[in-house]
Structure 1
Amino acid sequence: MNLLELFFHTLEVTLPVFAMVFAGIGLKRLKWIDSGFVNTASALVFKATLPALIFMSLIKADLSIALDVSLLLFFAAATLGQFFISWVWASYRVPKADRGIYVQGAFRGNCGVVGLALAAGMYGNYGLSAGSLLLGVVIVIYNALSVVALAAYQPDQSTDWRSLLKHIVTNPLIISVFAALPFTALSIPLPSWLITSGDYFASLTLPLALICIGATLSVATLRNGSQVALSASSMKMMVLPFLSTLAAWAVGFSDEQLGLLFFFFASPTAAASFVMVKAINGNVALAANIIAITTLMASVTVTAGIFILRLLGWI
């Protein structure tokens, strides 16, 4: 396969995902969808269709393949490393009031939508099932570390571990992972009609979520982007994915494992980071800028990353 064929083969993975994001931008500008639609659809995805997608992918998965303990442990360790690097950098280069927002924006990725969509596009059911298990780990870590980072630099804020634990336990995505595991581990069958209906419902997830991401992007927000937002975005989309993927390759991950890790490392900043900043009355403009910039950067950085990894023969 020559370089041009390799490049177009790479686009086959990334273009379907980011085309839906840009479709969301276009639909919002045409006023075919509005903020009310985005809010309702986003809630539907988080509370129902994404949990259904995770559940359906896991009950069909072969746990002997999808449940990779070394992959889960490395991803957890790498996320902690990203958090530490972001914190150290922010301590020297970012105004104190914005450090927590910078740290969260730099390490917290949108793995539940963008990462999972890319994994599914490239690796099919393995990407969905193994990615869903990774998602269960990342939800816990992201929420815990985000609370720590934001509380450390916001006046009159403290780390409310009881509230955090409740938020994690009641998270629909985590519930769907644990609900599916007994069916997978014990090979408990479900009626075929229920599986078909579940697949229909779950199939709404990725296109709907990606369109909502595009619809929330604001050109005005991008124009007002600060140097801090650009720095956090560069950290999230270039520095940390490069270091983490290189570390994964160095310890022996390759092929599907390395590709899956890269997709999760290279996902743009999660929209949930804005919600958390807003809840503590932080700099919401900075949080919004980071989300918008990283989402647009992802179409280039993820494509380039897959192309390079394939060129090197690592995935």
Structure 2
Amino acid sequence: MFENFMTALRVVLPLALFMGIGVLVRTFKVVDRPTMRKVDGLCFRLFMPTLLFKNIYESDVLHHMDGWGFLYVLVCILILFFVAGLLLPRRLLPDGDSAAAVGQAMIRPNYILFGIAVGTSIFGSGSAGIGIVALFGALIVPLVNIFSTLILELNRSGKADLKNLFLSILKNPMIIATLFALTLLALNIRIPDLLYTVVSDVAGVTTTIAFISLGVSLDLSQTLSNRRTLILAVLSRMVLIPLIFLPLSIALGFRDGALCALMIFFAAPTAVASYPMAVAMGADGPLAGQLVCSTTVTSIFTIFCWTFLLRTFGLM
């Protein structure tokens, strides 16, 4: 019991401390939010794809591909898209802009950032477990990007541009990194050690920089203006969705790396990228930012609880 408690603590404590450093950095005006937004862009285009590439490349994922798991993820995303992304926000919220922001928050987890960090803490770098977590991410990230865009467009304007969706998938750095890693593994091509050292060093700073940047962006001062909507959305995203889907995942036989991937998918906070995307597409930007902050703070407690429970019952 104590060992499982410490494992869960090791998962969330570094993440909480990194975000705390980010809050202090902003408080003492060491760096401002506009600067960190540029850092966020660098994380998305360089650091996170490199980390995803490294974890797939170092793991024997070609022998651990789970077609049933991928099908299950697709079905779950479709359910979340129609129910949590479109149906409930439209019925509960008075305007399309707010419904779009909440709908996106329900379906778009901060998977790469939290998934790789949590998976590495539990299974270790280079393990089959973290490889499976990374591979699930390669499926989850583009799918939730597609459906998030559809939610924003359908709630806001009632239509969506499928051509732009397809092009955005092809240009997504996470997709490019995943395909590159899988191609090298399939062809049994090994990167020279001298070059791979640079890849490892770049990947190694991702978690630290990304979570400090996340801490800089956290601002709960405006949440009171939307407290009813935020309470409903946070409870749905961080409590209700994992309570429904994680027991179902366990009952269907998912364990270890696959169950960890599903835990992150269902219990991770809303992705930071949902805020600029909501602003760019004309949804309720302030509400989207408040959802990111609120779910991120809540996730420290909920991910700890889920990790502790799943480890205690020997499921992960």
**Same-fold call, TM > 0.5?**
yes
2:221 counterpart SS class: helix
Partner of 2:156: 154
Please show how residues 1-315 of structure 1 align to structure 2 within 5 Å: 2=1, 4-86=2-84, 87-97=86-96, 98-124=98-124, 125=126, 126-155=128-157, 158-315=159-316
Q: 2 CA distance for matches of 1:127 and 1:36?
A: 36
Are residues 131 and 256 of structure 1, via their aligned partners in 2, closer, same or farther at CA, if it must alter by over 3 Å?
A: closer
| RMSD between aligned residues | 1.8
Tell me which moved more, 28-37 or 63-72: 63-72
Shift in Å, 1:127: 4.3
Cα distance between partner residues in 2 of 1:210 and 1:225: 25
Q: How many residues align?
A: 312
In the alignment, the residues of structure 1 paired with residue 183 and residue 53 of structure 2 have an alpha-carbon distance, to the nearest angstrom, of 11
Would you say the 8 A contact 1:63–1:185 is kept in 2? no
Distance 1:256 1:129, change over 3 A: closer
Tell me whether 209-218 or 84-93 shows the greater mean CA deviation. Answer: 84-93
- Structure 1 SS opposite 2:189: coil
1:10-32: CA deviation from partner (whole Å, max 9, x where unpaired):
11122112221222112111222
Query: What TM-score does the superposition give when structure 2 sets the normalisation length?
Result: 0.92
Following superposition, the deviation at residue 70 of structure 1 comes to: 2.1
CA shift at 1:65, angstroms? 4.3
Q: Which whole-Å deviations, capped at 9, do the CAs of 1:232-284 have from their partners, x for residues lacking one?
A: 11111111112111111111112332122112221100112112211122211
Sequence identity (%): 26
Task: Name the CA distance, whole Å, in 1 between partners of 2:135 and 2:7.
Answer: 27
Deviates more, 1:95-104 or 1:193-202: 95-104
Distance 1:314 1:134 in 2: 18
Segment drifting more, 171-180 vs 22-31:
22-31
Give distance in 1, aligned partners of 2:250 and 2:293: 29
Q: Is the Cα contact below 8 Å between 1:226 and 1:286 reproduced in 2?
A: no
Amino acid paired to 2:115: G
* C-alpha contact 2:129 2:256 (8 A) present in aligned 1: no
Q: Which runs of 4+ in 1 moved over 6 A?
A: none
Task: Give yes or no for contact 1:45–1:205 (8 Å, CA) kept in 2.
Answer: yes
| Superposed CA offset, 1:137-184 (max 9, x none) | 1222112211221222214x6301111111110011100111111211
In the aligned structure 1, how far is the partner of 2:171 from the partner of 2:3?
46
> What are the ranges of 5 or more consecutive residues in structure 1 without an aligned counterpart?
none
Q: How far off is 1:132 after superposition?
A: 2.3
| Equivalent residues of 2:220, 2:290 under 8 A apart | no
Per the normalisation by structure 1, the TM-score is 0.93
